[in-house]
A = this chain, B = another copy of it.
Amino acid sequence: MGVVVQKYGGSSVADVERIRLVAERVAACQAAGNQVVVVVSAMGDTTDELLALAHRVAESPARRELDMLLSAGERISMALLSMALNARGVPAVSFTGSQSGIITDDAHVNARIVEVRPYRIQDELARGRVVIVAGYQGVSYKKEVTTLGRGGSDTTAVALAAALDAEACEIYSDVAGVFSADPRLVPEARRLSEISYQEMQELAEAGARVLNARAVEFAKDRGIAIYARASSGEPGETVVRRFPPRAPGRVVGVASETGLVLLTLTTPDAGRLRALLAACDARGAHGKELLFRGGDSPHASVAVSLENVPDWSRLRAELQEHFGDRLAVRYGVGAVSAIGAGINAGYRDLGVALDTLAALDVALLGVATSSFRISLLVDAARVGDVVRHLHSALVEPAPTAGASTS
């Protein structure tokens, strides 16, 4: 009998009715002859609400205490789902991250899974039970509760799928698969029937929310195929797995994010730049893009996302003290990225992207490229426009390239 790991995000368990629908899907998966492990996120916006409470109580809450607080959310949803399954006559048991054997490092708020010891899960599966696991959390070797950062429940699911040698890892959200752009921004966006790990990882790092980048990296390392589906039962899915190399230059999608801050050193040298990056890193503000301009008026800029930064006000004060006038801080920055293997072989796509910005009269704050990605830093308020036009210029002209093969 094969093991299937299913993960349901916050919107899929947002209320009692949706929890019942999830229970129905889980029951059907078990009835089809599978051993089922279900990973759940906290209900709806619970995590954000708890975070807001924390910041009302303390300007700079300790990360260890944040983990204690935030990990309460998944306990609630896992216990309710387990009850809903039991009420349907499906024997189920819920486990915290710690009880599931999710061992992490001790980087509170943004921990990494270092080992999975799923013995209790395996025992309960052998007894015919569905096992519900709290996503997003684990326990450090110091026996402290840790959380895995935004989207961490996806990582929990993939790590369990690997440890349990599962046949499939299914990630359920409110959209049926991965699209070439956020359908709320781009109505013409189309579902990708399949995508490679690397492309998915780049899309996720560039702001696509449907799958977590770290989870995809984990899946790539272990060779776990991920199926992204809608918890509503809406048909359609995207498979993320290893593919043979494709024709270079196909753009699979456009992703974006806002809420970035651009930190610019006006008199940069290697030492100062290293100090800036180290200070950011120590406070969880990992640089997303690094831009350097030499010559007469040298500048070095790093774009950081405030999303995973537990204490921006403290970091800002530290930077102020250390760099003074040498550092400029620009808020309200966004990034729009086009993703595709070999997108920068020849600069055709980059040229199209720059033409698009010019036609929109959008100021370019920076460009970063890799072999998989072109990222444009722009004013956050213009991100929607840029996404739509870039999707139309780079993705839509070649509808056959992304057509379904399933």
Contact = CB atoms under 8 A, between A and B. Distances in A.
A261 to B, nearest CB: 24
A58 B84 contact: yes
A121 B53 CA distance: 26
A82 B69 CA distance: 10
A59 interface: yes
Interface stretch (A70-78, A173-181, A223-231): A70-78
Contacts of A19: 57
Contacts of A58: 83-84, 86-87
Interface stretch (A60-68, A191-199, A332-340): A60-68
Contacts of A73: 72
B83 A62 contact: yes
A329 interface: no
Interface string A130-146: 00000000000001010
Interface in A193-226: none
Nearest to A85: B58
Interface residues of A, number: 38
Copies of the chain in the assembly? 2
Given A16-B53, A57-B84, A57-B87, A68 B78 contact: yes
Interface string A34-51: 000000000000000010
A75 B86 contact: no
Contact of A83 (B57, B79, B80): B57
A56 interface: yes
Contacts of A99: 143
Contacts of A68: 75, 78-79, 82, 94, 96
Contact of A80 (B57, B79, B81, B96): B57
B94 A56 contact: no
A93 interface: yes
A54 B79 contact: yes
A242 interface: no
26 contacts: A16-B53, A16-B56, A16-B57, A54-B83, A57-B80, A57-B84, A58-B83, A59-B87, A60-B87, A61-B83, A64-B93, A65-B93, A65-B94, A66-B79, A66-B83, A68-B79, A68-B82, A69-B76, A69-B79, A69-B80, A69-B83, A71-B75, A72-B73, A72-B76, A96-B145, A99-B143
A382 interface: no
A286 interface: no
Contacts of A82: 62, 65, 68
Given A57-B81, A57-B84, A61-B83, 6 more contacts: A16-B57, A19-B57, A54-B83, A58-B87, A66-B83, A68-B75
A16 B58 CA distance: 10
Contacts of A145: 96
A72 B75 contact: yes
Contacts of A76: 50, 53, 69, 72
Nearest to A75: B72
A189 to B, nearest CB: 35
A389 interface: no
Contacts of A64: 93
Nearest to A73: B72
Contacts of A241: none
A20 interface: yes
A78 B145 CA distance: 14
Nearest to A88: B58
A94 B57 CA distance: 15
Contact of A69 (B53, B75, B93): B75
Nearest to A95: B68
A141 to B, nearest CB: 15
Contacts of A60: 87
A80 B86 CA distance: 33
Question: Which 10 residue pairs of A and B lie closest in terms of their CB atoms, listed nearest first?
Answer: A58-B87, A69-B79, A58-B83, A68-B79, A61-B83, A72-B72, A72-B75, A16-B56, A57-B84, A65-B79
